[in-house]
Structure 1
Amino acid sequence: MKSEAQNPQLQTPAIHNAQPWNAGARAAFDLETTGRNSRAARIVTASIVVLAADGSVEVEHEWLADPGVEIPAEAAEVHGITTEKARSEGRPAGEVVGEVASTLQDLFDRGVPVVAFNASYDFTVMAAECARHGISQLTRFPVLDPYVINKQVERFRKGKRTLGALCEQYGVILTDAHSSGADALAAAQLLDAMVTRFPELDRPAAHLHHNQIDWSAAQAADFQSYLRRTKPTAVVEGDWPVLLPHDAGQAGF
């Protein structure tokens, strides 16, 4: 497998490139963590996969972290990493967070779009971890989220919108689900499949990024309105690609 320096296709043009997002290199990003609360969860595994314009995998990065806290049994059942395994084989959390952040920021700096399924979860975990370890926050631009995009283009789709369910619908093979590397690659392949069905998605990454900010806010507002029919105080957050911090001390998100 070639390094980025050996691949001229990965020397991506500036962020304001007017080409469609899939005309050049793109990357995919996924985390497996200690829990569902994105502001409190710690990273257990992280993967970044860089793909060439034709969708072939050019570079893969994988990390296993010792999160510094117990990994709940329910989380370990999902991704297969126990506290004991993380402590014996994982690297210190601060080192892993720093390397993941540096790799992502390098991609963003070069205008490489980063695909992340349900991006507001992964990037909120990253934001909290960066704040926790004194690491600079990411620019998080441009990001492409098949979850938000699918809710926009298939508003009345019935059934689950999990990565697995959407991959099955679009004919994307997802092997070893809930491993960060497999999930990251599947998210990128899912978006490739979606654009063939919805050609309106064949636009520059920067445009889609800004679209998704509006789409996510509208989707959350609609769902909140629905929930408030029976739960008047229900709140659905629509910030994207990162949730705003609840703690004023974490305002650096």
Structure 2
Amino acid sequence: MTWHRRSLAGLDFETTGTNPEMDRIVTAAVVRYGGGRPTETCRWVADPGVTIPAGATAVHGYTTEAARAAGRPAGQVVAEILDAVVALVDQGLPLVVMNAPFDLTLLEAEAERHGLRGLFGRVAPRVLDPLVLDKQVDRYRAGSRRLESLCRHYIVRLDTAHDCGEDAIAACGVVWKLANRHRWLTRVPLEELHERQARWAVDQQESLRQHFARSPGREHLALTVRPGWPVTPRMRPGVPPGE
């Protein structure tokens, strides 16, 4: 039985912002998807301990006050998320994470912030990133590669984008559809596929950096492209991204 016929684990966060090293988890979901069994979803709301900017609230709907009222202490939530992911990875499930370097770098930073052992210090997850996989198998397709766009392309249901539970399930659905369409992926062992994605991601990130560098008015964005997959290396103080 190929890996895409077995269950997949999925992970998704909604956060206080877009810096994975500095921003915090607001909502989280860990799912078990496929494999001939009903989808199981675990959800969390955290009090991030910081103000949630209006821009982030506009994306996921949680104000600072709402997160404080509904959420539990961030350290407890991060510990439970780590335990849930480790439990699924220990069962041999691959971990599906859309744009993995953001969510997994964020999770490692949150673990360190709360004095917890990070995910990669506990297990060696075999990560499947629908963004990296899609870019590799269909690299010249024009248009957005956001999750909503991938769902439209692969005909995967996503009723409420930026709901972490629905996003995690949809990302798993995209990986399943993508693997079913490009069957050669299912013949690659998960360990090898993880390593291939690391190489593909570096090439994709460098291509994006070059694209920005030669685009008038967007040259500054080249410095925001950070290499590394499935986590990005910690930035050194005073050193711009990409150096």
TM-score by length of 2: 0.89
Q: What is the total number of aligned residue pairs between the two structures?
A: 229
Structure 2 CA distance for aligned equivalents of residues 176 and 42 of structure 1: 21
Match for residue 20 of structure 2 among 31, 38, 41: 38
Structure 1 CA distance for aligned equivalents of residues 146 and 74 of structure 2: 28
| CA-to-aligned-CA distance 1:196-218 (integer Å, 9 cap, x gap) | 22112113322211111000011
Where structure 2 has 5 or more consecutive residues not aligned to the other structure, the ranges are: 238-243
Partner amino acid, structure 1, of 2:230: P
Are 1:110 and 2:98 an aligned pair? no
Shift in Å, 1:67: 0.2
Match for residue 244 of structure 1 among 210, 223, 233: 233
Are 1:234 and 2:222 an aligned pair? yes
Aligned partners of 1:116 and 1:187 also within 8 Å: yes
**Residue 8 of structure 1: aligned partner:** none
Structure 1 CA distance for aligned equivalents of residues 28 and 114 of structure 2: 16
Where structure 1 has 5 or more consecutive residues not aligned to the other structure, the ranges are: 1-18, 249-253
| CA-to-aligned-CA distance 1:40-95 (integer Å, 9 cap, x gap) | 110000001112413x4342110000000011111111111111111011000000
**Residue 61 of structure 2: aligned partner:** 80
**Residue 14 of structure 1: aligned partner:** none
User: Percent identity, aligned pairs only?
Assistant: 41
Question: What is the DSSP-based 3-state SS (H/G/I as helix, E as strand, rest coil) of the residue aligned with 1:217?
Answer: helix
Match for residue 138 of structure 2 among 154, 162, 170: 154
**Residue 51 of structure 1: aligned partner:** 33
TM-score by length of 1: 0.86
**Residue 208 of structure 1: aligned partner:** 193
Match for residue 188 of structure 1 among 172, 197, 205: 172
The 10-residue stretch of structure 1 (143-152 or 205-214) with the greater mean CA deviation from structure 2: 205-214
Structure 2 CA distance for aligned equivalents of residues 67 and 184 of structure 1: 20
Aligned partners of 2:4 and 2:179 also within 8 Å: no
Runs of 4+ residues deviating >3 angstroms? 230-233
Aligned partners of 1:20 and 1:205 also within 8 Å: no
Structure 1 CA distance for aligned equivalents of residues 151 and 65 of structure 2: 32
Shift in Å, 1:247: 4.5
